[in-house]
Each structure stands twice: as C-alpha cells, then as structure tokens.
C-alpha cells in the first residue's frame, strides 16, 4: 500500500532510536492531501479509511521501519548537544512512482528518548498552522516539507490549558539537519559522520564531491531558499541549526509568519526577544548556520589547518551567491527580465519606499502588476519618480503575475481558522487551504477574503512555538 525503502534505517544503529508511536484513543481524520498522496503513489481513499490508524500512529504500516532521529544543534546561538525527534517519528521513506524518495514522518506521535521534559505530543493549533503554511509555500513554488494528513487524537494535550491533541503527517526530501551532522561531529563519531555525509550526497547532491562539494551544494540550496523566503515576506522564526534541513527545504514551521507591513526588522516569535531571526537577518543567520555545518564537516578532512582555510573560502562565497539569488527573485517580482546588478537600485528603491510607510508587502507587489500600487506607498512623489525609472526598464507583466502571490497565509487568518477548529468547525480550515492552493490566480470570491491585511484589532503581534 505504501512502497517503503528505508535507507536511513540502514545507517549505524546509534544514529537513531527504533520505536513505534504511542497509540491514541480516538483518532479522527481532519484532512488528507489528495494531490500529495497521488504524487507519492499512496491511495488517498485508503489513507482516509483504513489508513487512519497509520496516520494516528496506532498501526505500523507494512514495510515501515519507524525510528526517532538523533540530532543536536545551536538554539539561538547556544549549543545544545541533546536534541532529536522529541515529538516526531520517521515512519520510513516512500518511493514515489517516478522513483523520487520522500520521508514520511508523524509529528505529535508520542515520547521518544529525545523528548527531554516534553510530552511528545502536539496540539491542534500548530498542526493546522504547519499544514496551512507548508502547503501554501509549496503552492507558491518554494522548497518545503509538505503536509500529507492531519488527524485529531481524541486526547487532551496539556499546555497552559487542556487542548485537543493532533498528529501531522509530514513529507520531506529528508529530515536531515545541520544539527544531525553537528551531533556526530561533537561526539567524535567520525564513522557515523562519514556515513551520514555519504548518505546525504547520494540522496540529495549526487554530483557533489566529498565534504567540500557537499558544503558548496548545501550553501547554494540555502541561499536560494532564503532568497525565496524573502520574496514572499516569510519569517521562519526559529532558524536554529536543528531547524535547517540540508536538503534546502523549509522545515519545522513553529512560530513562523508572513509579514503584513514591510519592515526588515519584523519579528513575530515570542521567544525571539533580540530579533535574531528577524526578516532581514535571515540571510546572515543562514551563513552562520552554514559555518556550523562546515565546522561539523571538518573531522572528515585531513590537515585541519588547510581544511579550515578551504572551507572558509567556500563560505566567503555566500554573499555573492545569495545576492544573485535575491536579485533573481525580486527582479522577477518587478517583471525585470535578465536582471543585472544595475537593477538592484530599482529593487532597493521600491523596498525603501515600502518601508517608510510599512506598505503591505504582498498587496504592494500584487498591485504593481496592475500598475495600481501608488495607493500603497506613503511618499507619492518619490513613487512617481521610481515608477518612471521602472517603466523605462520595460517590466514584463506576465512574469510579475506569476512571481507575486495575491494571497499568503496571514497570521490573523490562521488564528481564526484554529479558533474555529478548536470549536469543531473545520470549514474555515478547508476554505483557506483551497484558496491558498492557487496563490497566483486573479482574485475571486473564494480567494479575495485572504488578500485583506489585518485591521489594527486583528493584527497578530506574537506567534508562539506552542508545541
């Protein structure tokens, strides 16, 4: 029923903990992602029926080799040697009909040796949030983990108060993180580190040569990913090294959020008091994380001093690679074909005008394509001047239409969906997902409500990990 081939489970046993999920009392289906099931070659009708027990963690499907992955990481810059899947379980790897390999993971599936003081569970809010946001990211064409299904557990999860428990089934190219490498490097387990490196090269970057080639490939993927985040106003919120997937996919949607009004220092996460992971800091933090990745690869290289110099030289290439990726993303948003560094002035000029009045990021770019953006900009005179320069460059309106989403999953709307779901009404959740599956279509009756920016009273200032 599910075609498994579990390559991670064939790595040295000390890299993970084999175990099953903790069963739940009364699983109830919230959603099955039919398009994604088809992509994976899994029968969606089966998933929604007999497969429910698999999605809830009550039954181990044939061919699975469930395990919790071990990892470490830097959290807000501080080293934590003992992380790992504390509330997640890798069921195994699915081979899709086209041969592509995907991790199938349950999130909220009960305690593991890596749970520390946590209960291993998730409540409905973060499960729905990750479902909505990860699927919206995929629909906008960003590299991301996906949501295959969500189920209620029928059990209460205790946070500040009792809340409905839920399990998300997550699909990813892999769940291997910078922190996975860091763990084995820190343990001095060079054999596991080498096995992990070979595994990741074979799985994600078959053209890469050795640790240095891997660093280059991961750096390129991360630069491209962060540029894409910036282009949709996405703020991850917890860019710890354990939340950075080496595959280059967005992973671990916690207190993430999309900006409404544009300002580079926008922060939402309640645990990010210093703004370390603010919108505008994300490229710098990606490089910081890549430096930790490089450090973790060092034990694999001879002649430490020479190796440090070579890896440092690779890392020094990040700003240029990122700037090129960022230019490609923002030039497309302005309809600029074949961009060059000369276009940076146009890009930054608009962003400066938007910052002055905290223009709505999504609405302003969407309005540009219909040449109706001036209402979003505070300084009209400066905008008129900017628009003249932009028009002279000959923007391609079709390129803009497919590069600027009309709608994004806005925080205040996600919160409303969660509130309704907790009260038993999933209609808003399904409506929001359906709308966000076609972000680039001209607005219509079904999508228009999601284009609205929050009113002062609706604005969500803080998001919580709320695990």
Question: Which of the residues are catalytic?
Answer: 242
- Helix (H) / strand (E) element for 16: namely strand 16-18
User: Judged by CB, which is closer to ligand AMP: 183, or 329?
Assistant: 183
For ligand AMP, the nearest residue by Cβ is: 118
Stretch that binds ligand AMP, among 38-46, 78-86, 306-314, 331-339 (CB under 6 A): 78-86
CB of 186 to Mg ion, least distance (A): 17
> CB-based contacts of 56: which residues, under 8 Å, 6+ apart?
21, 23, 24, 27, 151, 153, 167
For Mg ion, the nearest residue by Cβ is: 252
Among 43, 119, 155, 396, binds ligand AMP (CB under 6 A): 119
**Nearest-angstrom CA–CA distance, 65 and 90:** 8
Can you spell out the DSSP letters for 315-357?
HTTHHHHHHHHHHHHHHHHTT-SS--GGGHHHHHHHHHHHHHT
CB of 71 to ligand AMP, least distance (A): 7
**Nearest-angstrom CA–CA distance, 57 and 223:** 36
Among 70, 214, 238, 256, binds ligand AMP (CB under 6 A): 238
Instruction: Collapse the DSSP code of 163 into the 3-class scheme (helix H, G, I; strand E, B; otherwise coil) and give the result.
Output: strand
**Nearest-angstrom CA–CA distance, 394 and 325:** 21
Which listed option, ligand AMP, Mg ion, none, makes contact with residue 115 (CB within 5 to 8 Å by class)?
ligand AMP
Q: How many CB atoms lie within 10 A of CB 391?
A: 10
Site size toward ligand AMP (CB under 6 A) is 18
Which listed option, ligand AMP, Mg ion, none, makes contact with residue 150 (CB within 5 to 8 Å by class)?
none
Q: Is residue 465 a contact residue for ligand AMP (CB under 6 A)?
A: yes
Can you spell out the DSSP letters for 113-157?
TT-TTS-S-EEHHHHHHHHHHHHHHHHTT--B-EEEEEEEEEEEE
CB of 181 to ligand AMP, least distance (A): 15
**Nearest-angstrom CA–CA distance, 153 and 177:** 28
Which listed option, Mg ion, ligand AMP, none, makes contact with residue 467 (CB within 5 to 8 Å by class)?
ligand AMP
User: Judged by CB, which is closer to ligand AMP: 116, or 448?
Assistant: 116
Site size toward Mg ion (CB under 5 A) is 2
CB of 284 to Mg ion, least distance (A): 20
User: Judged by CB, which is closer to ligand AMP: 87, or 376?
Assistant: 87
Confirm if 408 and 439 have CB atoms less than 8 A apart.
yes
User: Judged by CB, which is closer to ligand AMP: 9, or 88?
Assistant: 88
Q: Is residue 85 a contact residue for ligand AMP (CB under 6 A)?
A: yes
Alpha-carbon distance values, 318 to 146, 226, 275, 278 (Å): 27, 12, 22, 19
Q: How many CB atoms lie within 10 A of CB 430?
A: 12
Q: How many CB atoms lie within 10 A of CB 276?
A: 18
Which listed option, ligand AMP, Mg ion, none, makes contact with residue 120 (CB within 5 to 8 Å by class)?
ligand AMP
Q: Is residue 130 a contact residue for ligand AMP (CB under 6 A)?
A: no
Among 254, 283, 405, 409, binds ligand AMP (CB under 6 A): 254
Chain-centroid distance, C-alpha 294: 22
Q: Tell me phi and psi for residue 463, to 5 degrees.
A: -120, 150
Helix axes 178-186, 190-204, angle to 10 degrees: 160
User: Judged by CB, which is closer to Mg ion: 243, or 447?
Assistant: 243
Confirm if 180 and 158 have CB atoms less than 8 A apart.
no
Q: Is residue 222 a contact residue for Mg ion (CB under 5 A)?
A: no
Q: Is residue 93 a contact residue for ligand AMP (CB under 6 A)?
A: no
Subset of residues 242 to 271 that bind Mg ion, contact rule: CB under 5 A: 243, 252
CB of 320 to ligand AMP, least distance (A): 30
User: Judged by CB, which is closer to Mg ion: 234, or 429?
Assistant: 234
| Binding residues vs ligand AMP (CB under 6 A) | 83-87, 114-115, 118-121, 238, 240, 243, 252, 254, 465, 467
User: Which residues of this chain interact with Mg ion, rule CB under 5 A?
Assistant: 243, 252
């Amino acid at each position: 029923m599910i075609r498994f081939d579990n390559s991670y489970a064939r790595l040295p046993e000390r890299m993970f903990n084999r175990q099953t999920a903790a069963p739940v009392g009364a699983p109830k289906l919230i959603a099955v992602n039919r398009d994604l099931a088809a992509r994976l070659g899994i029968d969606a009708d089966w998933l929604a029926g007999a497969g429910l027990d698999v999605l809830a963690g009550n039954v181990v499907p044939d061919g699975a080799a469930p395990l919790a992955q071990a990892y470490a990481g830097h959290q807000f810059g501080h080293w934590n040697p003992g992380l790992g899947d504390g509330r997640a379980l890798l069921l195994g790897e699915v081979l899709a009909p086209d041969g592509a390999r995907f991790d199938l993971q349950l999130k909220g599936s009960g305690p593991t040796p890596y749970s520390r003081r946590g209960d291993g569970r998730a409540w409905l809010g973060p499960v729905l949030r990750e479902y909505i946001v990860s699927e919206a990211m995929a629909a906008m064409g960003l590299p991301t983990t996906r949501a295959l299904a969500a189920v209620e557990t029928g059990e209460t999860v205790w946070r500040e108060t009792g809340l409905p428990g839920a399990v998300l089934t997550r699909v990813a190219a892999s769940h291997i993180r910078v922190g996975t490498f860091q763990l084995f490097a820190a343990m001095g387990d060079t054999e596991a580190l080498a096995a992990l490196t070979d595994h990741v090269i074979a799985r994600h970057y078959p053209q890469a040569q050795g640790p240095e080639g891997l660093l280059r490939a991961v750096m390129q993927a991360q630069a491209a990913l962060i540029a894409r985040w910036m282009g949709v106003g996405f703020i991850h919120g917890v860019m710890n090294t354990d939340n950075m997937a080496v595959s280059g996919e967005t992973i671990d949607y916690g207190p993430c959020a999309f900006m409404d009004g544009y300002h580079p220092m926008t922060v939402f996460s309640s645990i990010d008091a210093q703004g370390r992971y603010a919108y505008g800091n994300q490229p710098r933090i990606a490089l910081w994380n890549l430096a930790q990745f490089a450090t973790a690869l060092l034990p694999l290289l001879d002649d430490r001093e020479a190796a440090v110099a070579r890896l440092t030289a690779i890392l020094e290439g990040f700003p240029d690679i990122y700037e090129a990726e960022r230019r490609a993303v923002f030039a497309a948003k302005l309809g600029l074909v074949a961009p060059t560094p000369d276009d940076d002035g146009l890009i930054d000029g608009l962003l400066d005008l938007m910052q002055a009045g905290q223009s709505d990021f999504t609405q302003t770019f969407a309005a540009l394509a219909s040449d109706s953006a001036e209402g979003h900009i505070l300084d009209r005179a400066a905008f008129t001047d900017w628009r003249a320069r932009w028009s002279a460059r000959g923007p391609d309106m079709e390129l803009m239409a497919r590069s600027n989403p009309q709608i994004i999953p806005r925080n205040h709307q996600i919160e409303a969906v969660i509130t309704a779901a907790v009260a038993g009404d999933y209609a808003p959740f399904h409506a929001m997902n359906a709308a966000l599956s076609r972000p680039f279509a001209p607005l219509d009756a079904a999508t228009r409500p999601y284009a609205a920016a929050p009113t002062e009273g609706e604005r969500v200032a803080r998001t919580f990990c709320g695990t």
